[in-house]
Structure 1
Amino acid sequence: MTHGDKSLVAANEVSGTAVYGADDSKVGTIDRVMIDKTSGKVAYAVMNFGGILGIGGDERPVPWETLTYDTGLGGFRTSITEAQLNDAPAAQEGWDRDRDWETRTYQTYGVTPYWI
């Protein structure tokens, strides 16, 4: 039996994980992940950003494909900028059931939607 680095993580353990930009500066924190019930794929990480010590920030769902885990940082790395987060469609009530909203969001970040 081989024991290597733990690559599996419980969804609730992702909450609170820092997200870093290309320059290693902290961009935000993951609040929760959204999983497609049918496919089992992680669709979004709902990210808090722009606040001070987690207070007063904004929240944006970002496509999971825009994040990669960096063991050296102990958090996720992304090429998303704060300007992109500010320009992204805000999560209104029902956003997670609105395919038009999802399409605009995926277009904002330039990645292929999880349902395709």
Structure 2
Amino acid sequence: MATRTDTTSTTGTLTGGGAPIVGGHRGDGPGPEVMDAATLKGDSVVNSSGDDLGTIEAIMLDVTSGRVAYAVLSFGGFLGMGSKLFAIPWSALTLDASEKRFILDVPKERLENAPGFDKDHWPSMADTTWATQV
């Protein structure tokens, strides 16, 4: 199982084939650039103002391309009840490896007023409207 490493690069930001990484370091093994998706489940998500936006519920893969399609953000609710789910494009998230969280540049109010999606009907990348709904 992959583990995280918390190191800082000289540039402060590392970008790869997906989400940018703050405090990341390119290495030969698992770390901020390549890691087990299960280690990211439950990570907190904040916006640039530091507002809590929820947690990563799942990371969905496009099995045809082998790339991350989107992350599922669980927002609101209490003890898992009444929370809304959002499909967040992977490129919209920035991994803050030193804080073990993601940054999403979206005002909290936007998520409060958005409908989210039903836990029994997850969006498909083939649906051209799913990425524009948040």
The TM-score by the shorter chain falls in which range?
A: 0.7 to 0.9
Q: Which runs of no fewer than 5 residues in structure 2 stay unpaired?
A: 1-26
1:96 aligns with 2:96: no
Paired with 1:42 and 1:69, the residues of 2 have a C-alpha distance of 14
Q: Which residue identity does 2:123 align to in structure 1?
A: D
The corresponding residue for 1:112 is: none
Amino acid paired to 2:48: A
Counterpart pick for 1:57 among 59, 73, 83? 83
Larger RCO (alpha carbons 8 Å, 6+ apart):
2
Partner-residue secondary structure (3-state), 1:60: strand
Q: Tell me, in whole angstroms, the C-alpha distance in 2 between the residues paired with 1:35 and 1:3.
A: 23
* More displaced stretch, 16-25 vs 89-98: 89-98
Q: Deviations over 1:69-115 (max 9, x none)?
A: 01232200010223333454532444434733xx2232245xxxxxx
Letter in 2 for 1:67: L
- In the TM superposition, residue 50 of structure 1 has moved relative to its aligned partner by 1.2
Extract unaligned runs of 5+ from structure 1.
Answer: 110-116
Count of residues paired in the alignment:
106
Matched, 1:44 2:70: yes
With over 3 angstroms needed to count, the CA separation of the structure-2 counterparts of 1:88 and 1:104, relative to structure 1, is farther
CA contact (8 A) 2:96 2:102 kept: yes
Choose 12-21 or 82-91, whichever is displaced more.
82-91
Residues 78, 31 of structure 1: alpha-carbon distance in 2 compared, 3 angstrom cutoff: same
User: What residue number does 1:114 align with?
Assistant: none
How do residues 8-87 of structure 1 correspond to structure 2 at under 5 angstroms?
8-87=34-113
Query: Which structure carries more helix by proportion?
Result: 1
Percent identity of the aligned residues?
33
Once residues 99 and 87 of structure 1 are traced to their aligned partners in structure 2, the CA distance between those partners, rounded to angstroms, is: 25
Please tell me whether the aligned partners of residues 62 and 105 of structure 1 are also in contact (alpha carbons under 8 angstroms): no
Name the CA distance, whole Å, in 2 between partners of 1:88 and 1:34.
21
The answer on whether the counterparts of 1:84 and 1:108 sit within 8 Å (CA) in structure 2 is no
Q: Which deviates the most, 89-98 or 7-16? A: 89-98
